[in-house]
Amino acid sequence: MDKLFNLKCFSLESFYRFQQYDKIVSLLRRMSYLEKLTLYLPIKDRNRVIDGTYVQRDILDYMSLLHSFTFYICTYVETVDLSYKLTSEDIQQTLTGIGQQHAINGLMTFSSDNCQLHSIIEYPHLTILDLENADKDYVEQFLNETKAYVPCLTKLGVFVHDLKVVTKDFTREETRRNCAKVKQILTLGSLVHSEDFCLYFPSLYK
C-alpha cells in the first residue's frame, strides 16, 4: 500500500535551485489526504514562471481536504526572447483563484549586464525573506527602498558579503529603512556588530 496516500501533513523545503518540479508534482499527487502542506521550492531551467494557475492545476486540484497551504515557489527563467511578456499583475491575478489570504508575488527581470528592467514596489505581508542562495541583485532589489518596500520584514537570510556590499558596510541610506525592523538575521558567515551595524538593525536589540 502506498504510505504517501495516508499522509495528512507534509513539508518540503529546498534551499538549492533544482529542476525536478514535475517529479515533485507527481509525488504530491499521491498525497490526496493532505490537510497541511508547506513548500519552499526554488525551480530553475523552465521556460515559464510557475504561477497560481500551475499551483492550482498541478497540486491543489488533487487535495480536496487541504486547509493549510504555506508556500514559496521561485522560478528562475532564462528569458532571451523578450516577446514573452509577463507582469507582476499577471502573476498576482493567478493567485486570487487559490484562496490565499496573503499571497504575494515578485517578478524581477535583469538584462545580461544586471541592469534592472522591472521592479516591485511594495510587499506588505512579507515577514521572512531568504536570499542566501540568490544573486546579489536580489538583495539590492528587496533592500533598496527606491525599488521595494518591505514594512513587515522581521527575518532575513543573506550572505554576509552580499549584505555588506549592498548596504555599503551598513552606511547606505537607501537600504536602511527596509532593514530597520529585522529582528533576526540568518547567515553562514560571521557578523561583526559594529556601531554602524547596530544602528542599521536596531530591532535586533529590542
- 22-72 confidence digits (pLDDT tens): 999 999 999 999 999 998 888 888 877 887 788 888 998 999 999 888 887
Average pLDDT, the chain: 81
Element spanning 53, H or E: helix 52-58
In SS3 terms, 86-114 reads as CCHHHHHHHHHHHCCCCCCCCCCCECCCC
Is residue 181 over pLDDT 80?
Answer: yes
Query: How many Å apart are CA 109 and CA 42, to the nearest integer?
Result: 16
Could you tell me the three cell numbers for 68? 493549510
Percent of the chain clearing pLDDT 90 (strictly above): 37
Percent of the chain clearing pLDDT 70 (strictly above): 78
Query: How many Å apart are CA 109 and CA 183, to the nearest integer?
Result: 29
Is residue 186 over pLDDT 60?
Answer: yes
Per-residue pLDDT of 99-123, as tens digits, reads 555 555 555 555 544 444 454 568 8
Query: How many Å apart are CA 87 and CA 90, to the nearest integer?
Result: 5
pTM above 0.75, yes or no: no
* pLDDT mean over 177-202: 92
Could you tell me the three cell numbers for 1? 500500500
Nearest Cα to 33, choosing from 12, 56, 13, 9? 9
- Using CA atoms, how far residue 63 sits from 24, 51, 69, 97, 115, in Å, is 14, 18, 11, 15, 41
Q: Which range has the worst mean pLDDT, 13-22, 82-91, 160-169?
A: 82-91
Going from N- to C-terminal start, the domains of the chain cover: 1-107, 112-206
Other beta carbons within 10 Å of 144 = 19
* Whole-number pLDDT of residue 115: 46
Nearest Cα to 14, choosing from 133, 103, 162? 133
* Whole-number pLDDT of residue 176: 97
* Whole-number pLDDT of residue 188: 74
Element spanning 42, H or E: strand 36-46
Please state the separation of Cα 127 from the chain's center in Å: 11
Helix, strand, or coil (residue 12): strand
* pLDDT mean over 120-127: 78
Helix, strand, or coil (residue 6): helix
Per-residue pLDDT of 139-163, as tens digits, reads 998 999 988 899 999 999 999 999 9
- Using CA atoms, how far residue 159 sits from 12, 60, 130, 164, in Å, is 23, 34, 10, 9
* pLDDT mean over 192-196: 93
Amino acid at site 11: S
* Whole-number pLDDT of residue 112: 46
Name the phi and psi angles at 133, rounded to 5. -110, 15
Is residue 15 over pLDDT 80?
Answer: no
